[in-house]
Amino acid sequence: MKYRDLIKEMTLEEKASLMSGKDFWTTQNIDRLGISSMFLADGPHGIRKQAIASDKLGLNAGIPATCFPTAATVANSWNVELGEKIGEYLGQEAVAQKVNVLLGPGVNMKRNPLCGRNFEYFSEDPYLAGKMAAGYIRGVQSHGISACVKHFAVNNQEERRMAIDTIVDERTLREIYLTAFEIAVQEGKTKTVMTSYNKLNGTYTNENMHLMQEILRKEWDFNGVVVTDWGGSNDRIAGLLAGNELEMPTTAGETDREIIQAIQTGKIKEEVLDECVDRLLELIFTTEEAYKKIHVDFDVDRHHRVAQKAAEESIVLLKNDGNILPLKFGKKVAVIGDFAKDARYQGAGSSIVNPTILDHTLNCFEESGIVSIGFEAGFERYGKKNAEKVKSACLLAEKADVVLLYIGLDEVTEAEGLDRQNMKIPENQIDLLDAVFSVNPNIVAILSCGSAVEMPWIGKVRGLVHGYLGGQAGARSILRVLSGDVNPSGKLAETFPLQYEDTPSLLHFSGKEVTVEYRESIFIGYRYYDTANVDVLFPFGFGLSYTTFEYSDIQIAKDGVTFKLTNSGRVAGMEIPQLYVRCKSDAIFRPNMELKGFVKIFINAGQTKTVTIPFDDKTFRYFNVITNQWEIEEAEYEIIIGASSADIRLTGILAVEGTGAPIPYNKIKLPSYYSGKVNNVDLEEFEYLLGDKVPISTWDRTQPLGYNDTIAQCQYAKGRIARLSYHTIVFAHWFLRKIGKRDTANLIMMSIYHMPFRGIARMTGGVVNMPMLDGILMIANGHFFKGLNHVIKERKKMRKYRKSIKTVEIGSRQRYE
């Protein structure tokens, strides 16, 4: 241990105190030993450090910071160097705001298009997500502070995220859901990892020895700090044994006492605590070094320009019939859509950034050179139909050569803590599109949202530009693409299915009660659509340009592939060649092909460049459940170079030597997986793949409610007060949505409805402790007076204890002074 001597000077109480927060955002300090508090701040795409009340959850506005495009947006750039540059600027701002740990990036897979937090994650592909995350992490940590990759792991739904049990087979876990974390740890060298709320195959991730010790610590050799998601600690001792150093937020000393008692009774050895303290001290001391250097406030304008550059590279041109784009000089343009007036530029939840500057479309036209003849909102932002607005929009559209129609999803549709109800654009926006099309068919749609949507209306637009959530400079960036000042170079980091019913996880998303089963296994995103021959709207890796590119002269060697890339068009542009690999053997079930490399290259018109994409340790591997390790199957592999997963330009064959591992599966027992048609796998086949029985997925309504049951389950509680509370919450949610307070309604669902009872203690900063929670559960289970008396008694005991502790602390300070 690096800090053995310092740890020897600590009392058991002091060591235990470091294992949980001091308040909502800072860690505990020990002044007498020179140990300072750390500040942890949300920040996947911008610093969210609230200006007041660090002891509160964080619903107040943050200190102004640059709002960069969200991860889902930047992933479309396929530019690792750009991700690293964004990370550098995020790190600089974090230092300026005295933030030690920046809570991001998020690398959870986009298993299903409806996950409410998809806007905050990179991709459906673990290789792309991992490479982008590693770039972010290197950039952030170049300033001496820590990034924090999250949410570890298999957190792919928001509904019931604090209680759901994810059932997934080991190979799928390794190949799909852990690979991005592996790259973030081993290549990004992240100093901090945040565990997810959910269970993994029956055990909370924060306590899961297989995940936390066998994989993270031993296999990946991670020596950094593990922090819980806020309120994500279940059993503090089990978490400590698994190697979780830091529980956030504070529990006002309650779990510290659990740790002390566990050591005093021999339940755990003090050496376990010492090792956790040592790793935490390393994080504290190394990150605070950043503040000993001379720093000035960051250059707001320069950071805004970087945010603009990031947005420009991430915009995806999806349709351009008749080369309607870029807009020809002198064309009269009608601007229609509420999102043109008030840009949709980020998601909702813990990642909300208070931007330093915010570009809006209507304020940026003059510099763009585009001639606007006027603006009409056209629709109500939150879905209400308004015939007058549609009529006004059509009157304007009739006078224009081209209509720029700004549509998308609103801020409360894509939000942390909630999953989307469908993949549709709101009906009132489609009604507007239909009406405008009837008077002017020259429509260019500008789409603003952080995830995939259905587009049955796509035949009515000639151009389609997807800006995703482009951050504070996104609106100006889109105009630069429309005008031709920027040649679009983004490509989709996720597949857009024709309809939601085509998704492989349709029947098993989201888990509504106890479990969610990942029956589709490794076949998510393009891995499924391509293997099962399901048509899609836009394939993975797709994106148009204002120029064209030709691929030629492929050369394959043992260590990589080389080819020539020519810009055969008339304007300079950037192209993203993608390396896919297909195993020619059918002994082990696999996707038709998998992404194993990519590069982004700028090429002038008429220029040819030689491109090399190297192979790495992940190019040919698969996870073998018999040997319990990564293996390589001896076979011929097709080396594929594509402009997207569906636009294959070059191919070749390479014979690869294998590791000689046994074939892990009986093909006869896994027909769905060997065909790739996994949208309706039966229970018996899934259990064979899993190697275990699938747990019961429904609540046991006969049992009393416990710590890990949610407030939603009060609907069948024995206590009338609990059932009344449930119906009150449901009514409040309905009423708030009815009167237009959808953000508040969402907050009720996220922070109350789906909250486990233990969250009442874990998220209230010590206002309610676990003994008081026992009383609350008695009330919920039908013992009102007994429970109420218990709550009152335990409340008095807690206040008396804290008063005695405060007296002791004052005495201790006086002695040291």
Cβ contact 363:54 at 8 Å:
no
Residue-by-residue DSSP string for 94-158: HHHTT-SEEE--B-----STT-TTGGGB--S-HHHHHHHHHHHHHHHHTTTSEEEEEEETT----
Bridge partners of residue 20, in order along the sequence: 247
For the chain, give me the number of helices (H) and strands (E)? Answer: 25, 28
- Residue in 23, 125, 165, 229 annotated catalytic: 229
Bridge partners of residue 101, in order along the sequence: 40, 146
For 492, half-sphere exposure in the C-beta direction (CA atoms, 13 angstrom radius) is: 29
Cβ contact 311:470 at 8 Å:
yes
Closest CA to 336 of 377, 385, 371: 377
DSSP type of residue 50: B
* Size (the chain), residues: 817
Closest CA to 87 of 44, 52, 120: 44
Bridge partners of residue 612, in order along the sequence: 562
Bridge partners of residue 41, in order along the sequence: 102
DSSP type of residue 544: B
* Torsion angles phi and psi, residue 724, rounded to 5: -65, -40
Structure tokens at 791: 């709550």
**How many of the other CB atoms lie within 10 Å of CB of 21?**
26
Is 647 part of the annotated catalytic residue set?
no
Cβ contact 570:546 at 8 Å:
no
Q: What SS3 state is found at 650? A: strand
Is the bond leading into 151 cis (omega within 30 degrees of zero)?
yes
Own/partner contacts of 267-273, CB < 8 Å, gap of 24 or more, are 267/237, 268/237, 268/240, 268/241, 270/12, 272/240, 272/241, 273/15, 273/16, 273/19, 273/240
**How many of the other CB atoms lie within 10 Å of CB of 800?**
10
Structure tokens at 586: 């059918």
Give, in order, the Cα–Cα distances in Å from 105 to each of 89, 351, 491, 755.
Answer: 14, 11, 20, 24
For 771, half-sphere exposure in the C-beta direction (CA atoms, 13 angstrom radius) is: 14
Q: Catalytic residue positions?
A: 229
